[in-house]
Amino acid sequence: MAARFEGLLELDTGKEVRVLFTNRALAEAEQQMGKGVIGVAQGFASGQTGLFELAHLLRAGMEFARRDARVGGRPVSLNDAYEVLDTAGFTRVAQMVMETLAACLSYDPGNALPDGSAGNGADPN
């Protein structure tokens, strides 16, 4: 088991957008934003976090999901993330991203189930 959590957003167009948050994905997002993800997560509650941070988290999660799927193609861009935001809307994207981010940040291997799963529907791989 590892700190590895996936989120899924189904767009009205029928397209599925997957995100994968791992410690590496979050570190990449921090580097791109110039901010720590814990502060960004707290900022959603206080109103200090906005579209800029959400788009960067979404892009990092989408990119790591793409890499994990090993489908090839070009890296996910920030423009790709903004297209998803434009299509799905801030609230839907923020909910999915923040739920997945919170699961990753709160991961505790001591709470994993005997089969190695996190016990919350997270992918144990």
Residue 51, both tokens: 């579209």
Taking residues 93-108, what's their average pLDDT? 91
Tell whether the model's pLDDT for residue 121 goes beyond 90. no
Residue type, 45: A
- Rounded to two decimals, the pTM is 0.84
For the chain, give every domain's residue range.
12-107
Tell whether the model's pLDDT for residue 86 goes beyond 90. yes
C-alpha dihedral (106, 111, 116, 121), degrees to nearest 10: -50
